Amino acid sequence: MAVLLFATMPDTPRLHLPIRPRRLRRNASIRALVRETHLAPAHLIQPVFITDSGDSEPIPSLPGIERVPLRQLAGHCRMLRDLGLGGVALFPRTDPMLKTEDGREALNPETLVLRATRIIKAATPEFPVFNDIALDPYTTHGHDGVLNEAGTDVDNDATVEILARMAVLHAAAGADFVSPSDMMDGRVGAIRAALDTAGHSATGIMAYSAKYASAYYGPFRDAVGSSRATGAPPISKATYQLDPANRLEALREVAMDEAEGADIVMVKPAGPCLDIIRETRSVTRLPVAAYQVSGEYAQIHAAARLGWLDLQSTRDESLLAIRRAGADLILSYFAQFWAADQAHGTPPFST
């Protein structure tokens, strides 16, 4: 009763507070004036799945995302460019008939992703293209490299040799950045040397430097066709991707990639690794990228579909958190949708 009377008394005592943080939150204009973190379309890179099929192919686990056929690719990339996005990251869905144990299709000069790269650079030469360098789209076993003789693990050095040759092919096709996502030891240095020797010193390397063996990649593996059959256990990549429990190991990997010649370092996945993004930003002068992966995108959509979250505001907050953690660039399946909303005048964040 005493509390109720105090709350309704006309002469309620006022606190004498020289510091009132709420002064900077009084209205939308003031909040915008002091906002610390900003997101623009140029900070975002759209992952694009490509197919040799004649038609686009919806990906059920990634609502709104489709595999883009080559005949639609130029127009699709013009649209993304016109939204002001920072570029595209290409991922092929390789015909299963072309997959082998050793992933030799990755070294075919006419493989799908290289034809796609040439199409994009002919249509939008100024639009940055980031090409994935790893063997998982091309191997029957779904690993990111070739297996050792016993077939029990990925052979690091044999894989690096293939990745270096692969990177040269991608640079020759016009990729602005090659993006080794395999997590093999020494691959950045080997790729940099191979690019320079082949006359592609202007081609950059965006290294997947701190890539964790995460459970959040499932929809991506569906999209590129590297997932196991229904009911089969997921592929374990724990001998080459980072243990999600480790922090210092990630920073060591970042330092190694920087020393070997990476131009951009990346943390993946983004949402579960905001602490790693923050620490990476603190220890390197290079641009820091973060990949908001397929599982992050899918879980936000799933919760929104059930009415548990608002799709747009949750999407926007998730992207803002990645930027606030220190990411200069964000690869996200939300990129095109967020940028389209800005183009239509939708406020980027709650005001």
Active-site residue flag, 237: no
Say how far residue 52 (Cα) sits from the centre of its chain. Answer: 23
pLDDT for the residue 329: 98
The rounded percent of the chain whose pLDDT value lies above 70 is: 94
pLDDT for the residue 227: 56
Model confidence at 1: pLDDT above 50? no
Model confidence at 150: pLDDT above 90? yes
**In the chain, domain spans:** 41-343
Give residue 228's pLDDT band: very low, low, confident or very high (50, 70, 90). Answer: low
Per-chain mean pLDDT for the chain:
93
pLDDT for the residue 8: 55
pLDDT digits 0-9 by tens, 29-55 = 999 999 999 999 999 999 999 999 889
pLDDT for the residue 225: 74
Give residue 5's pLDDT band: very low, low, confident or very high (50, 70, 90). Answer: very low
- Specify the higher pLDDT residue, 242 or 14: 242
Give the bridge partners for 236, in sequence order: none
Q: Which two tokens stand for residue 334?
A: 């939300």
The 3-state secondary structure of the chain, one letter per residue: CHHHHHHHCCCCCCCCCCCCHHHHHCCHHHHHHCCCCCCCHHHEEEEEEEECCCCCEECCCCCCCEEEEHHHHHHHHHHHHHCCCCEEEEEECCCHHHCECCCHHHHCCCCHHHHHHHHHHHHCCCCCEEEEECCCCCECCCCCCCECCCCCCECHHHHHHHHHHHHHHHHHHCCCEEEECCCCCCHHHHHHHHHHHCCCCCCEEEEEEEEECCHHHHHHHHHHCCCCCCCCCCCCCCCCCECCCCCHHHHHHHHHHHHHCCCEEEEECCHHHHHHHHHHHHHCCCCEEEEECHHHHHHHHHHHHCCCCCHHHHHHHHHHHHHHHCCCEEEECCHHHHHHHHHCCCCCCCC
Fold designation for 41-343:
TIM Barrel (3.20.20)
pLDDT digits 0-9 by tens, 279-301 = 999 999 999 999 999 999 999 99
Lowest mean pLDDT among 132-136, 145-149, 221-225, 268-272: 221-225
Model confidence at 108: pLDDT above 50? yes
Model confidence at 304: pLDDT above 70? yes
Question: How far is residue 309's CA from residue 165's CA, in Å, rounded to a whole number?
Answer: 45
Give the bridge partners for 132, in sequence order: 179
Check 99, 121, 211, 237 and give the catalytic one: 211
pLDDT digits 0-9 by tens, 166-186 = 999 999 999 999 999 999 999
pLDDT for the residue 149: 94
Give residue 13's pLDDT band: very low, low, confident or very high (50, 70, 90). Answer: confident
pLDDT for the residue 12: 77
pLDDT for the residue 104: 97
Phi, psi of 272, deg, nearest 5: -75, -5
Q: Which two tokens stand for residue 204?
A: 């950059």
The rounded percent of the chain whose pLDDT value lies above 90 is: 88
Check 99, 121, 237, 268 and give the catalytic one: 268
Give residue 9's pLDDT band: very low, low, confident or very high (50, 70, 90). Answer: low
Taken in order 144, 208, 92, 220, is the CA torsion positive or negative?
positive
Give residue 109's pLDDT band: very low, low, confident or very high (50, 70, 90). Answer: very high
